[in-house]
Every structure is written in C-alpha cells, then in structure tokens.
Amino acid sequence: MKKILIVDDHADIRRLIRMTLEFEDYAIEEAADGESALRVAQAMQPDLVLLDVMMPGPVNGLEVCRRLRAGATASGPRVIMLSARGHASDREAGLQAGADTYLVKPFSPLQLINGIAQLWAAA
C-alpha cells in the first residue's frame, strides 16, 4: 500500500484531496504546517507528499521539500507541490527545491490523479 502525506494549512483542501484519493488503496496522513509535516514524514516515511507552498509558521512548503530531499535516500518520497502561485518563477522555485511536479490551485481531481499516476509510472 502506497503512503501519501497531504500537507496544507486549509482543512477543506486536505479533505478534498483525501476524498479524491480515498477510492485508491492508499494510506493517507495529513499535516497542517511545515513543522508538523516534517515530523509526520519522518514517522510515516511516505511514498508521496502533496505539499502546499504557502503555509503559516517558519517552515514553508519549499523548505519542507528541501529538507525532505536533503534527508532522502534514492527511494525517498516523491513530491507534488500545490500552490496558488503559478508564475514561471514560482514553478521554478518549487522544482529547484526538489519537487517532482508542480500543480497550480485550483486544480481538478483528475489533474491530481493523473499527476500521481505519472509519478508512479516513472518510478
């Protein structure tokens, strides 16, 4: 069973993502900020992290991604950045931080499912 960590400071977005994925055979955990995301990721060892960029607190999504990559083995988690910021520079910052994919909010459930499927196929 693949393990997915959903990280977003908005509970409604986490719930929407969970509802989108619950029909697949995934173990899903959630975190509401960067610091708790790092704690949960360390304990859970997810296969995939769905990671919001802008979150409250000292650790934003870009920093979470950098830290996940710094401590990851070759089989570390895949990361899909989720952000309302869609400029080319924002996308580039996400990819530079180590994200595998960058989705701009609002995204459709189908876009999310397809993005995950592409990551699994590439692995």
**Which domains, from first to last, does the chain contain?**
2-122 (3.40.50.2300)
Q: With 90 as the cut, is the pLDDT of residue 108 above it?
A: yes
Give yes or no for residue 122 having a pLDDT over 90: no
Whole-number pLDDT of residue 21: 95
Q: Which of 67, 40, 62, 35 is nearest to 51 (CA)?
A: 62
Is the Cβ–Cβ distance between 102 and 123 less than 8 Å? no
Q: Quote the pLDDT of residue 72.
A: 63
Q: Indicate if the pLDDT at residue 32 is higher than 90.
A: yes
Which of 10-14, 74-78, 93-97 is predicted with the least confidence, judged by mean pLDDT?
74-78
Mean pLDDT in the chain? 93
CA–CA gap between residue 91 and residue 114 (Å, rounded): 18
Check pLDDT > 70 for residue 73: no
List the one residue out of 79, 102, 100 whose CA is nearest residue 91: 102
